[in-house]
Structure 1
Amino acid sequence: MRHIDVYRNSDLIAGLLGRIRRQVDPARTYRIMEVCGGHTHAFHRFGLPDLLPSNVELIHGPGCPVCVLPRGRIDQGLAMAEEPGVILTAFGDMMRVPGTLGSPLRARASGRDVRAVYSPIDALRLAEANPDRRVVFFAIGFETTAPATALTVLLARRKRVENVSVFCNHVRIVPALEALLAPPGAGLDGMIGPGHVSTVIGSLAYEFIPRDHGIPVVVSGFEPLDLLQAVLLLIERINEGRADLVNAYRRAVPDGGNAAALAAMDRVFEERDSFEWRGLGRIPWSALRLREEFADLDAERWFPPPDAGDGAPDDSPCGRVLRGLMRPTSCPLFGGECSPEHPIGALMVSSEGACAAYHAYRRGEPAAT
């Protein structure tokens, strides 16, 4: 049997579902948050919410870096593209995300030189091929993608490429979870810890959740058996009143993280004292910026923008979905005014957005609060 088939084996899935149903107390509700947007899409792509008992409620967290970026930061990137001689580069899932001034794709349609790239290395190569242009890489992501940006900065310095810079929007998952769990919170009983970002920072980064907030955490992979195992482990612990941390994704996640990736990040980045998150407001020490040593590669030094936003939590439907306070289908704009073809918010267009998952896989679900 192929490796992937083991995690999608129908008999094993049926066995896990049976164990979950036997463990569930029909007299209570289990509110479980999957932090990672990749987990949200996997749950719905495999149809798992329809197979779980109705009193197991999956809450969608802010684990989509594109979705938590406030419009002001997008506007700052678009303003850079307005400067003469600039090529703005960004990952593909950023191209259609709207700020108040439009999206990168719309900026390209209006004549600005905005290009989608697969990697920050692509931006570096573009700068080498266009020495008379200034190339800006719109860096975004949790610690998952930050090491690649850090290594590109080091490579640019080593190769003495002076016409490339990074507009750094990398954010840190742990401060975001701390803000999310702070009172009043979303009334969670358990949490499925991120999979991708944990391969870099390690599972031990989440020890504070059971210790300080009294709920269990299970770090999970993305296959059906991974997700159902995480749900079962959480239900067992919720029933027992036991709060601890379980690394159920050891085939990819080391407890202590990836030492080489963490070292590259530490070499290039330092923590910002404050950063605004859509839906969560300003969170201290929750984002990264280039160290002073690399100031010449920092796009915010090339094009100093005004700080945007007042740091207040976003109470729009997007903000409430990001905080786990509302399901996508409860939004009055969902599937009508806001669709993948005409997105109003990033949650509908990002490859990890909760609204995109619901639209793609659960269009017929009735609205629920």
Structure 2
Amino acid sequence: MTLRVGVIGGGQLARMMIAPAVELGLDIRVLAEAEGMSAQLAASAVGDYRDLETVRAFASTVDVVTFDHEHVPQTVLRALVDDGVAVHPGPDALQFAQDKLVMREKLAELGVPQPDWAAVSDSAALQAFIDDHGGKAVVKTPRGGYDGKGVRVVRNADEAADWFLDSGDALLVEELVSFSRELAQQIARRPSGQMVAYPVVETVQRDGVCAEVFAPAPGAGERLSQMAESIGRQIAEGLGVTGMLAVELFETDDERILVNELAMRPHNSGHWSQDGAVTGQFEQHLRAVADLPLGDPTPRADWSVMVNILGGPAQGAFEDCFDAAMTEHPDAKIHIYGKAARPGRKVGHVNTTGDDLDDAVYTARAAATHFA
């Protein structure tokens, strides 16, 4: 019987799982939050992922449940596990992607390198941390933040006073790391324990959103590559992750590698692999959660570049932009998410590969500009 994989969340990550699922012979079904979402081609149900009975009903139609995002409540996840549903990644792992304070505590227990941090419950504690770290720090809401949301660089505790008032819970404060660039390490792990690692990549952030990815990270020597992979494998094993894991990293000015954040699903830093690796991250995630043998993550070319399409065309249709981009850059791979244009919104991305990094970067950027 065909294995049925259920994806909770109807965004672009679920959308990009559809084609590899078909190729693997899997029956993919999606619980979308609303009609007309990116993954509507596979949406077999529409409902609130926070409602246990809605999720239970969806889970009863599939053999394994996985995710487009990490926001399904722990109570819902644990109820599914109690019902005997195969959930990958499971709640014990997902809690570390859902709560940044819990993540920091666990990474400290594992001995993973990370920025200096603290849980602060009031302005006085936050101010003391700021004063002890050169007069500035990064404050994060432990839950719910993404793409720069829920993150502030502060020089005075008053700049986060509203967060204390709104949540009443402890906030996460971290040292403001002096870094030379941001990196990302992806690991795939299946329930039986098999793991494979992708090459460490460089990510470029603009306004808190990933804008570009270069794979492998330019100038990444053997020592850095081995260190990033070792950290990724240690986290995947230590947290019991099943599926794709993305470890966001800082490369510091003094040549250290520090863990920034985690994602337990396909991730923007791995979009390059769709067209640049023997096995792309979306196929790999499906293999992992279905407990199938993992694919080869080796790059197909010397360089791969991903450029996000942010916002979309201010005027005109996506189809017209697509036609112009394909005509002028036939070697670029263009992926559109089926979303309406909106300033700053991720509406697609462009992948390029080649033996010259500058050429690959130029082509990807030029193709993406057709959608501005």
Is the helix fraction higher in 1 or 2? Answer: 1
Is the strand fraction higher in 1 or 2? Answer: 2
TM-score by length of 1: 0.34
